[in-house]
Amino acid sequence: MTSNRGTVSFARVGLNYRLYRDRNVTLMQTVMNLFGRGTSRSWFTALSDVSFRFEPGEAVALIGANGAGKSTSLKLLAGIYRPTSGTVFTEGRIASLLDLGVGFHPELTGSENVMLNGALLGLSQGEMKTLMPGIAGFAMLERFMDTPVKYYSAGMFMRLGFSLATSVDPDILLIDEVLAVGDAEFQGRCYERIRGFRERGKTIVFVSHDPAAVRSLCERAVWLDAGRVRMDGPAETVLSEYLAASGGRVPKPGAGVTPREWGTREVFFEKVSISGTDGTPACEFRPGEPVHVNTVISKVSGPAVGNVILGYSLHRPDGETVLAGNNLESGVPLLTVTGERNASMILRLQALEPGNYLLGISLTGNGTDYHWQDYMYPLCLLGDRLPAPVTLESVEFRSDGL
């Protein structure tokens, strides 16, 4: 008999949130509000009459604008929320990577959190001890597994969460765009592991604002719009309609942007390092010290790819681009990639406004985005600030009686 493990379905699912508009100030007000007295409240509909069914082995993207109901749908599948109406059905073991740190106790170590989460997923201590080395190794956290996770960075949280979620052999994997926190190398390993899950017939439900990631991982997409299914079909078709409706724009990162990566990967960055003149890896640069961006570029099998443009961009931490360029604009011959080749850029920057920046690099050409790594590499440009960033034209002080 064919196994249905990995089946996912929504049948006319709705979810309403209750919004309270009053703040309790006294104990009496709190008690009265328990009985619905003295409280102003309203309802917000997050999902309305949503239906879909994913068969075992499908990789499906949930796309849509912010607030469309994508993350809410994942939390319903994970059992975090219960629907107000309709039925949510899943069959098999579910592993979810939703919000960073969800399911981790801050006072417990990495190892203790792994053991605890394994127990919640129904695995024995023996099974988890067997999996532990692989989980720590994939997350690159072997030295930190005995450290309480409250000391972990966002990237360490994500690496451990992803490694754990994908090491317990789930039938259904839920992913909500937290992979953007990881560095370029780890993101590549994550996507390779997800592709491996897909090839092994596991069900993947993936929320992302990155069209290239959707195209790379998913063959089907569901477009949610204001809590309803607007379109369900082949990923390329649904993406095209969604991007056309949004004017070709996708939501942009706000203040405190996180790294992001996309592209067809016909040509890709296999390795990237930032160094000083002596070749030592560095992220801080003094005035007049050039920034060496060293890359190893590879391609998938097939004929050589010519006319490849190697580009760079520099951004403030809030995402504002301060400069950008490429070898075409600089009059340098374009790249031809036949297998694996080295390419480097030496940036000589004058920092009129010293501080922290984010470097992005790209491979494009022939009308194609091959590989972009945006906001990916932090740089600290040292030096004295030359002009003041803001000058005072005038000031007036006013108050009653003056």
The whole-number pLDDT of residue 21 equals: 47
Answering whether pTM is above 0.85, one says no
- Per-residue pLDDT of 33-54, as tens digits, reads 655 555 555 567 889 999 999 9
Q: Indicate the angle between helix axes 125-139 and 110-120, nearest 10 degrees.
A: 130
Give strand pairing partners of 377.
359
Max CA distance (Å), the chain? 88
What residues does 365 pair with on adjacent strands?
Answer: 368
pLDDT for the residue numbered 305: 92
Q: What is the pLDDT of residues 141-161, one digit of tens each?
A: 898 999 988 888 767 887 888
CA 400 – CA 252 distance, rounded (Å): 44
- What totals of helices (H) and strands (E) does the chain contain, helices first? 8, 19
Structure tokens at 59: 């990789």
- The whole-number pLDDT of residue 337 equals 93
- pLDDT for the residue 26: 57
Q: What share of the chain is helix, strand, coil (3-state, %, to 5)?
A: 25, 35, 40
**CA angle in degrees (0–180, nearest 5) for 17-22-24:** 115
Residue stretches of the chain with pLDDT short of 50: 1, 21, 23-25, 249, 251-255
Question: What per-residue confidence (pLDDT) applies to 255?
Answer: 41
Contact 22, 173 (CB under 8 A): no
pLDDT on residue 342 = 93
Q: What's the CA gap between 337 and 301, in Å, rounded?
A: 11
Bridge partners, residue 41, by sequence: 20
pLDDT of 183 reads 60
